[in-house]
Amino acid sequence: MSTNTQPPERTLITLRDPGSAAAEAYRTLRTNIQFSSLDRPLKTLLVTSTAPDEGKSIALANLAVTMAQAEQRVLLVDCDLRRPSLHSIFGLSNELGLTSAILEGEGALPIQATAVNGLSLLSSGPLPPRPADLLGSRRMVALLDRLRATADIVLIDTPPVVAVTDAAVLAPQADGVLLVLQAGHTRRDRAREARQILEKVKANIIGVVLNNARLEGGYSY
């Protein structure tokens, strides 16, 4: 079993310090997402970034916690089949996961409960040799349909959209896409390229999350 020695309460600001400005920023993000689609509620939300180490997985995990705290049934799905991290963030096993579910078809889904009430995780599972082919397959489309029925909202973590094609392959299948950038780290040309890639596949970009943006008295996310 591959687990993180740090409990999620130590790694996620929304659990470690729920009264902080950063935790409040995640609750504001949750509200903005909810009100961005009143006429057609989001069932699947994909999160990506322009490059590695921009904090997309931590941002997604914190967003998931705030949604679960609002009494939603939330399912996190780790579709980053290159550098998966959600199982480590929540201290869970990655022996079975998304790849297992795709390959087994109609078998039981290896979804794991987290320590947060209402929040579950489908980790990546064993890493395949060609992630984009697996994520773009008809079996993945069928699996997403099954996952939508298990939760109020499905949150999907993907690799950086500029680096590999995985996010672009999945983005059209999601109801919305969030792009995570990091203040002082993300290059403007990379951010522009990421937007263009997502627009080219007709992804529904609902917003941008800026990590580590300095505010008075602290940081935003």
Task: Report the C-alpha gap between 179 and 10 in whole angstroms.
Answer: 25
User: Is-contact 209 28, C-beta < 8 A?
Assistant: no
Q: Give the SS3 label for residue 9.
A: helix
Vertex 163 angle, CA 14 and 83, to 5°: 50
Task: Report the C-alpha gap between 98 and 42 in whole angstroms.
Answer: 21
71's tokens: 């009494």
Query: pLDDT digit string (tens) for 35-85?
Result: 876 677 889 999 999 988 889 999 999 999 999 999 999 999 999 999 999
Residue 221: pLDDT over 50: no
- Mean pLDDT in residue range 2-17: 74
Task: Report the C-alpha gap between 49 and 26 in whole angstroms.
Answer: 17
- Mean pLDDT in residue range 200-217: 82
- The CATH number fitting domain 8-219, selected from 3.30.1060.10, 3.40.50.300, 3.40.50.1110, 3.40.50.2300: 3.40.50.300
122: closest CA among 137, 152, 143? 143
Residue 173: pLDDT over 60: yes
Query: Tell me, what's the pLDDT at 2?
Result: 42
Q: How confident is the model at residue 34 (pLDDT cuts 50, 70, 90)?
A: confident
Beta-bridge mates of residue 47: 157, 178
Residue 149: pLDDT over 90: yes
Task: Report the C-alpha gap between 188 and 141 in whole angstroms.
Answer: 33
Q: What Cα–Cα distance (Å) separates residue 119 from each residue in 71, 104, 135?
A: 10, 24, 23
Query: Tell me, what's the pLDDT at 215?
Result: 57
Task: Report the C-alpha gap between 152 and 129 in whole angstroms.
Answer: 32
Query: Tell me, what's the pLDDT at 214?
Result: 67
Task: Report the C-alpha gap between 16 and 153 in whole angstroms.
Answer: 23
Task: Report the C-alpha gap between 154 and 39 in whole angstroms.
Answer: 18
Residue 212: pLDDT over 80: no
- Mean pLDDT in residue range 170-185: 92
- Mean pLDDT in residue range 203-215: 84
Residue 203: pLDDT over 70: yes
Residue 220: pLDDT over 50: no
Query: Tell me, what's the pLDDT at 1?
Result: 38
β-pair type (214-215, 218-219): antiparallel
Query: pLDDT digit string (tens) for 91-110?
Result: 999 999 999 999 887 778 99
Residue 5: pLDDT over 70: no
Place of tokens 């991290």: 85
Query: Tell me, what's the pLDDT at 31?
Result: 93
58's tokens: 């931590």
**pLDDT averaged over every residue in the chain:** 90
User: Is-contact 52 83, C-beta < 8 A?
Assistant: yes
